[in-house]
Amino acid sequence: MENRLHWVLYLGLELVRDHNTLEPATEETAELYDRMLGLGVIVQPTGDHLDILKIKPPLCIDPTAVDFFTHTLDRALTELGHHGTSERTP
């Protein structure tokens, strides 16, 4: 039997309603998932509270695809009214 090693790239983007309390943003994550899918980007809600977007791009991802993803994420957040709605605390 041949032993094979498989590499994957797996990212998670956790969404919270409040950066101080870390309240999970479950509904917002579901909305973002639906909008991203509608814009042609496949992500998946995951985690105990379904507040983490699972992002699994192919290992052969290139800068153009990364730009497409980040622009699509920005567009979806803006369209849903979530972009820039929370303040980060140092």
- The tens digit of pLDDT for each residue in 41-50 reads 999 999 999 9
- The domain limits of the chain are 11-79
- CATH level 3 topology of 11-79: Aspartate Aminotransferase, domain 1 (3.90.1150)
Q: Model pTM?
A: 0.78
> Could you read off the pLDDT of 52-89 as tens digits, one per residue?
999 988 888 899 999 999 999 999 999 998 765 444 44
Q: Would you put residue 64 in left (φ > 0), alpha (ψ -120 to 50) or beta?
A: alpha
pLDDT at 90 over 80: no
| CA 29 to mean position of chain CA atoms | 8
pLDDT score at 1: 64
Q: Is residue 19 within 8 Å of residue 88, measured between CB atoms?
A: yes
